A and B are shown apart, each in its own frame.
Chain A
Amino acid sequence: MNIRILGGCLRVFSWGAVLVLTGSVLVLLGYLLVKGVPSLGRDLIFGQVNVLDALLLKKRVFDGLFPAIAGTLSVVLLSVGLAIPVGVCAGIYMSEFATVLQQRVFGLMFDILAGIPSIVIGLFGFSGAIFIHRYISNDFRPCLAVSVAALAFLVLPYITRTTQASMQGLSIQTRQAALALGATRVQNIFYVLLPQSFSGILSGIILAIGRCAEDTAVIMLTGVVATAGIPGSLLGSYEALPFYIYYISSQYTDAEELMSGYGAAIILLGVCAVLFILAFLIKRRLAGPAGPAPGRFHG
């Protein structure tokens, strides 16, 4: 019987696909861990400098990842901090006030923005820097501020979409409860709808942080450099972990430098994994511990 044979083949095929896919990723990550774990340690991050001196910015770290980690941290916090207020407000508008036409037009624009390759966003930031250099200040060049602005563009649609989706997902009962007690629309948003959709928005923000932290294409056009030390000003250059990994992969001069590349990759992967798990846990708590209540089983 044809369907039997086809079914058997399909089963074998699907097992094969799962094994190949998960297997190759596990081999890659396993290789990274095996090669890189020995490099992990205090020296990887702080080099020969005393930890306290480095953290208090008393001494500059030259042969460690500390400046890159600090750079990534600042660029992520600043860009997400910039994108959150705008993105959440935009999401609220889309969910609560937008007309059908606005939903369509704005929605299309958000989708296009979300899909723009990150290198093109980087190019946009770069051209913005040229624009300022040419028409406003001759001293201006790609710097931390440009990266922050460009990365904010990159994650804005994520935050808007997750805010919109979590607010639209609220039940009609939740929406009407406060309104029936005489709340205005804006009161309803601030006192009921936003708090209720908080975990949904939060998990979106965490994913946005992950996206910022791993992005290399945007920052390589907008001001990241291989050695800059701790970021000192918004108008200065800075270092970042993903760029360091990219840079080391082609510019390493000795085995020790390469090892620090593996170390940086493990740290970056760890950061992304932690963010991912965090977002996952928040989302799962949102869905409730065990699905619908027993009484709702149909019939």
Chain B
Amino acid sequence: MDKPVKIRVENLTFSYHQTPVFENVNLAFEAHAITAITGPSGRGKSTFLTVLNRLWESQPFAEMQGKVWILLDGQWVDIYGKTLSKPDLRRKVGMVFQTPNPLPMSIWKNMAFPLKLTGISDKSLIEEKISAALRQAFLWDEVKDRLHDSAFGLSGGQQQRLCIARALVSQPEILLLDEPTSSLDAGAASVIEDLLVRLKERCTLIVVSHYLDQVSRIADTALKLQARGFLQT
């Protein structure tokens, strides 16, 4: 079963305050699949996600060695190399956090934010991209009549889907999700699980989760994070 690979992690060592979080990790992630990362809390699952979009670099006292390659447009790109800027990388590798983090603006402005960052000003294009992303995130019907209301008026599950939709606006090839359902009730969580499975055709997903039942429902591959390394299960 030789499936196409999207991400390659080579000899990754990550330490925090000189204490290694993981050492010499080598991994490959399948394209258009959901890979789940499980394991006890405090072992650096979230940290691992931030290695893939370089978000950890804003953390003081953290250090990393090793290489991460991502297949973009048929070419292997070293994401810590000079060819790809950090903002560009983060548009290709979207991230959704444990608790929904809409910005303090309207739903519409939240959705338009990534486009604003790239300087797109064509109104009809913006509208088109936003509605497409909201539809992909199963949110369009619920918010189409109140796009200019504050994003904080949405329920937790809706906020999380808004954050997913917001990440989808930049058409990322990879989506990182850090325990995306842990702050939600079972109903809202199952909507998001369905959504993630559907998103496989568009992107490669890596989901941190500590719900084993959730992992078995949605994941194609599961990795267990153990002391300083990963175990394929």
Which positions in A face B, CB cutoff 8 Å? 1-4, 290-291, 293-299
For A291, list chain B residues within 8 Å (CB): 17, 60-61
Q: What CA separation (Å) do A299 and B207 show in the bound complex? A: 12
From B17, B21, B41, B43, A290 is in contact (CB under 8 Å) with B17
Among B48, B61, B178, B208, residue most surrounded by chain A Cβ atoms (within 10 Å): B61
Q: How large is the interface on B (under 10, 10 to 19, 20 to 34, 35 or more residues)?
A: 20 to 34
For A2, list chain B residues within 8 Å (CB): 119
Whether B60 contacts A297 by the Cβ 8 Å rule is no
Whether A299 contacts B60 by the Cβ 8 Å rule is no
For A299, list chain B residues within 8 Å (CB): 41-49, 178, 208
6 further contact pairs, Cβ within 8 A, besides A297-B47, A297-B59, A299-B46: A296-B42, A297-B42, A299-B41, A299-B43, A299-B48, A299-B208
Q: What CA separation (Å) do A4 and B49 show in the bound complex? A: 29
Q: What CA separation (Å) do A297 and B44 show in the bound complex? A: 7
CB of B80 within 8 Å of the partner chain = no
Known: A297-B47, A299-B47. A3 touches B119 (CB 8 A): yes
CB of B230 within 8 Å of the partner chain = no
Whether B17 contacts A294 by the Cβ 8 Å rule is yes
From A1, A3, A4, A297, B16 is in contact (CB under 8 Å) with A297
Whether B178 contacts A294 by the Cβ 8 Å rule is no
Interface majority SS (helix, strand, loop, mixed), chain B:
mixed
Whether A290 contacts B46 by the Cβ 8 Å rule is no
How many whole Å from A9's CB to the nearest CB in chain B?
16
From A1, A294, A295, A298, B46 is in contact (CB under 8 Å) with A298
Q: What CA separation (Å) do A291 and B44 show in the bound complex? A: 17
CB of B19 within 8 Å of the partner chain = yes
How many whole Å from A295's CB to the nearest CB in chain B?
6
Among A1, A290, A295, A297, residue most surrounded by chain B Cβ atoms (within 10 Å): A297
10 closest residue pairs by CB, A with B:
A299-B46, A294-B19, A1-B119, A294-B17, A299-B45, A294-B16, A297-B16, A295-B42, A299-B47, A298-B46
**How many A-B residue pairs lie within 8 Å, measured between CB atoms?**
35
Q: What CA separation (Å) do A4 and B117 show in the bound complex? A: 10
Among A291, A294, A299, residue most surrounded by chain B Cβ atoms (within 10 Å): A299
For B59, list chain A residues within 8 Å (CB): 297
Q: What CA separation (Å) do A299 and B41 show in the bound complex? A: 6
For B119, list chain A residues within 8 Å (CB): 1-4
Q: What CA separation (Å) do A51 and B42 show in the bound complex? A: 63
How many whole Å from A219's CB to the nearest CB in chain B?
43
Q: What CA separation (Å) do A298 and B178 show in the bound complex? A: 11
How many whole Å from B57's CB to the nearest CB in chain A?
14
Q: What CA separation (Å) do A293 and B60 show in the bound complex? A: 12
Q: What CA separation (Å) do A2 and B178 show in the bound complex? A: 34
Q: What CA separation (Å) do A2 and B118 show in the bound complex? A: 11
How many whole Å from A137's CB to the nearest CB in chain B?
61
Q: What CA separation (Å) do A3 and B43 show in the bound complex? A: 40
Whether A290 contacts B61 by the Cβ 8 Å rule is yes
For B60, list chain A residues within 8 Å (CB): 291
For A294, list chain B residues within 8 Å (CB): 16-17, 19, 21
For B44, list chain A residues within 8 Å (CB): 297, 299
Q: What CA separation (Å) do A208 and B178 show in the bound complex? A: 47
Q: What CA separation (Å) do A290 and B63 show in the bound complex? A: 14
Which A residue's beta carbon lies closest to that of B45? A299
Q: What CA separation (Å) do A115 and B212 show in the bound complex? A: 58
For B46, list chain A residues within 8 Å (CB): 298-299
Q: Which of B47-66 contact A (CB under 8 A)?
A: 47-49, 59-62
For B19, list chain A residues within 8 Å (CB): 294
A–B complex contacts, Cβ < 8 Å, 28 sampled: A1-B119, A2-B119, A3-B119, A4-B119, A290-B61, A291-B17, A291-B60, A291-B61, A293-B17, A294-B16, A294-B17, A294-B21, A296-B42, A297-B16, A297-B21, A297-B42, A297-B47, A297-B59, A298-B46, A299-B41, A299-B42, A299-B43, A299-B44, A299-B46, A299-B47, A299-B48, A299-B178, A299-B208
Which B residue's beta carbon lies closest to that of A299? B46
How many whole Å from B14's CB to the nearest CB in chain A?
10
For A297, list chain B residues within 8 Å (CB): 16, 21, 42, 44, 47, 59, 62
For B43, list chain A residues within 8 Å (CB): 299
Among B17, B59, B62, residue most surrounded by chain A Cβ atoms (within 10 Å): B17
How many whole Å from A10's CB to the nearest CB in chain B?
15
How many whole Å from B206's CB to the nearest CB in chain A?
13
Q: What CA separation (Å) do A291 and B60 show in the bound complex? A: 9
Which A residue's beta carbon lies closest to that of B116? A3
Q: Which of B19-45 contact A (CB under 8 A)?
A: 19, 21, 41-45
Which A residue's beta carbon lies closest to that of B21? A297
